[in-house]
Homo-oligomer: A and B are copies of this chain.
């Protein structure tokens, strides 16, 4: 943890900017934005890191004294030949000293987001088994490099095309064979707010919580459901019970704001960062 982070005692010291919230910004621009706005942590995306260059990104975040709250993302384990790319993702997360590598495990083999169905495999139980098998290979690899995998259950609306991992309970079942520092879970309000078991499962998660991500669930959803993530307060989620449960489970790490939203992406990134920090103060870290 950087000196700056360790010394950060002011309001919102746990706020982290997931860089896709300000999607127009490159890594360098997002790091600069964090510094200008007094943000202490950032969530990075692999493709943006690749564009900036891994070594340069490592230097940028170190010079800025930023914590890397997560690297997004490994996963898509239900596809063939996913292991090599995931090993690379783990190596990148190690280089960045990221608190975790977010794992979006993938959907039914052959089903692509946004594309019409072609040849694909309907065997959902089989796809879930394949995730467990890939995890058995990757968890020790990550552990040996000091990287924590963070299994992210996605909203069931993405089960076919993005993640056959649909609930926090299912993620914890998958993580159970591994040490908590090797395999944790992501609690993302957008994905889990509806789950009747969510508070019990957050309590069960305890020190497996590797990342707490916040954004709202819009209503009505836009045509592209991926972009249904709203600024906190703009949707239907009651954040207080979720945030309280995460705190009671013992999580004290960064809280990432991650918003995929056409209007947010069209707006000025500085204005967006100001807005999400204000809402964060009102609704999350109150």
Chain A interfacial positions (CB closer than 8 Å to B) = 108, 111, 113-117, 120, 122-125, 128, 155-157, 159-161, 166-167, 169-170, 193-197, 217, 219-221, 223, 225, 235-238, 241
User: Would you call A236 and B108 a contact (CB within 8 A)?
Assistant: yes
User: Would you call A159 and B194 a contact (CB within 8 A)?
Assistant: yes
Q: Which residues of B contact A115 (CB under 8 A)?
A: 220
**Contact among B108, B111, B166, B237 for A195, CB-based, below 8 A:** B166
User: Would you call A114 and B195 a contact (CB within 8 A)?
Assistant: no
| Residue in A122, A155, A166, A235 whose Cβ sees the most chain B Cβ within 10 Å | A122
Q: A191 to chain B: closest CB distance in Å?
A: 9
Q: Which residues of B contact A235 (CB under 8 A)?
A: 117
User: Would you call B236 and A117 a contact (CB within 8 A)?
Assistant: yes
Q: A236-B122, A237-B122 are in contact. Are A219 and B160 (CB under 8 A)?
A: yes
Q: A143 to chain B: closest CB distance in Å?
A: 25
Q: Which residues of B contact A114 (CB under 8 A)?
A: 220
Q: A200 to chain B: closest CB distance in Å?
A: 12
Apart from A117-B236, A157-B157, A157-B225, 13 more pairs, CB < 8 Å: A124-B194, A124-B238, A156-B156, A156-B194, A156-B195, A159-B193, A161-B219, A166-B196, A167-B195, A169-B196, A169-B197, A170-B196, A223-B223
Q: Which residues of B contact A196 (CB under 8 A)?
A: 128, 166-167, 169-170
**10 closest cross-chain pairs (CB), A and B:** A223-B223, A159-B194, A122-B238, A160-B236, A156-B194, A170-B196, A157-B157, A160-B219, A156-B156, A166-B194
How far is A70 from B28 in the complex, measured between Cα atoms in Å?
60
| Residue in A108, A195, A236, A238 whose Cβ sees the most chain B Cβ within 10 Å | A236
How far is A9 from B161 in the complex, measured between Cα atoms in Å?
40
User: Would you call A238 and B117 a contact (CB within 8 A)?
Assistant: no
Number of copies of this kind of chain in the complex: 2
User: Would you call A238 and B123 a contact (CB within 8 A)?
Assistant: yes
Q: A155 to chain B: closest CB distance in Å?
A: 6
How far is A128 from B157 in the complex, measured between Cα atoms in Å?
21
Q: Which residues of B contact A113 (CB under 8 A)?
A: 220
User: Would you call B124 and A221 a contact (CB within 8 A)?
Assistant: no
| Residue in A115, A157, A225 whose Cβ sees the most chain B Cβ within 10 Å | A157
User: Would you call B120 and A221 a contact (CB within 8 A)?
Assistant: no
From A237, which residue of chain B is reached at the shortest CB distance?
B122
Q: Which residues of B contact A194 (CB under 8 A)?
A: 124, 156, 159-160, 166
A sample of 5 inter-chain contacts (CB < 8 A) reads A117-B219, A124-B238, A125-B241, A160-B194, A169-B197
From A171, which residue of chain B is reached at the shortest CB distance?
B196
User: Would you call B124 and A193 a contact (CB within 8 A)?
Assistant: yes
**Contact among B117, B128, B236, B241 for A111, CB-based, below 8 A:** B236
